[in-house]
Amino acid sequence: MRKPLVHVLFWVGFFFIWNRIVYFYIDNPVNRLYFTALDISLIITSFYIVFGFLMPRYFKKKRIVLFGILVAVLVITLSASHFFIMLFLLRHSAMPIHFNFSWTYTDMQYNRFFIALLGTLGGCITKLAIDWVQSSKRIERMEKEKSVAELIYLKSQINPHFLFNSLNSLYAQLEAGSADTKDTLSALAELLRFQLYECNADSIPVYKEIEYLKNYFTLQSIRKENCLVEFLCDDLPGNLTIAPLLLMPFVENAFKYVSDNDDKPNFIKAGLNFNNGILQFYCHNTLLPNKQEDKSPNNGIGLNNVVKRLELIYGEKYKLINGIERDIYNVDLEIWLI
């Protein structure tokens, strides 16, 4: 119902605009209405024949030559038929027309031809424009569906990796006979609950991601006895949201590639703060000098995944700087959340 109403309203408006602009020089209002009605009927006829029949059946199927021939036949046929209709009405005085201007029959022929051509071109252009808009929407919808599927795939890659590392940490504690095993197991259960139930949404509150990171730091620090582990976080606004598990690959890489020096300090330092609508995350860890090339975090699957997720979710609203400097691997990430 909506589309027919839009068409009717458009042609009514077009009728009055044509009446005022094209036939402004005709003093008699009845004559203006008469000529406007003839013109608009010709435009509408040629428009919808091209728009609804010729374009879908021939042009869209790339039968361009036949389409061009049919359009030419259409313009000539419609302009000739309208010319003879007007000629009949004028000769038999079927309408109360009173000319106060000079207009020959040749002029009338050209006039009908160009008006039919106008309707035909209007039908072509409108159909092309509508098809282009629909095609753009379809491509955009397909891109969104592809992005969603890719995000699901990327998150599914994180889960096994996380579980493997967490179980290794728990195993190390059990093997050492630590009294804190129950607390560790409880932390692991919280992490798994987050993985299973809370990270399936497109975005989650930032504070939940922070709790997840803190629990992960606590769990993984068990395996790093000679390493300083530090996670700092400022008070953040409660209404901030972020894509789940977005920061975890950086932290996992830090624990995976951190150095194990006996003569130098080993550390993993990470944190979050929020300034002027920008969430700032950093994660720095020491590396063994002789293993920077073959075991660099830059070569990990996790980092590639998180970069893809950042591009899919935030587009140009993020800035990531990462690299090795003086045996320290640095990650600095900024995300525009507001």
pLDDT, tens only, 229-248: 999 987 777 788 888 888 88
User: Is the domain of 110 the same as that of 212?
Assistant: no
| Domain annotation covers residue 245 | yes
Enter the pTM of the model. Answer: 0.54
- pLDDT exceeds 80 at position 72: yes
- pLDDT exceeds 70 at position 95: no
User: How many whole angstroms separate alpha carbon 206 and alpha carbon 244?
Assistant: 9
Question: Domain count of the chain?
Answer: 2
Averaged pLDDT, 79-101: 68
User: How many whole angstroms separate alpha carbon 268 and alpha carbon 246?
Assistant: 18
User: Is the domain of 19 the same as that of 73?
Assistant: yes
Q: What is the pLDDT of residue 312?
A: 80
Q: Which residues lie below 8 Å from residue 91, measured CB to CB, with a gap of 6+?
A: none
Instruction: Tell me the one-letter amino acid at 159.
Output: N
What is the pLDDT of the chain when averaged over all its residues? 80
User: Is the domain of 134 the same as that of 182?
Assistant: no
| Domain annotation covers residue 188 | yes
- pLDDT exceeds 80 at position 106: no
| Domain annotation covers residue 63 | yes
| Domain annotation covers residue 6 | yes
- Integer angstrom CA distances of residue 196 from 46, 156, 172: 61, 11, 24
Question: Last residue of a domain, which of 81, 111, 139?
Answer: 139
User: Is the domain of 83 the same as that of 211?
Assistant: no
Q: Which of 267, 201, 197, 200 is nearest to 231 (CA)?
A: 267
- pLDDT exceeds 80 at position 54: yes
- 140-196 per-position pLDDT tens digit: 787 777 766 665 665 565 556 666 766 776 777 677 766 667 777 777 787 777 777
| Domain annotation covers residue 154 | no
Residue 319's pLDDT band (cuts 50, 70, 90): very high
User: Is the domain of 56 the same as that of 198?
Assistant: no
Burial 297-331 (b: 16+ CB within 10 A, else e): beebebbebbeebbebbbeeebebebeeeeeebeb
Q: By the 8 A CB rule, do 115 and 42 touch?
A: yes
| Domain annotation covers residue 150 | no
- Sheet containing strand 267-275, strands side by side: 228-233, 267-275, 278-286, 328-336, 318-325
User: How many whole angstroms separate alpha carbon 127 and alpha carbon 67?
Assistant: 14
Residue 266's pLDDT band (cuts 50, 70, 90): very high
Q: What is the pLDDT of residue 268?
A: 94
- 210-236 per-position pLDDT tens digit: 888 888 888 777 767 788 999 998 777
User: Is the domain of 244 the same as that of 191?
Assistant: yes
| Domain annotation covers residue 101 | yes
Q: What percent of the chain has pLDDT over 90?
A: 14
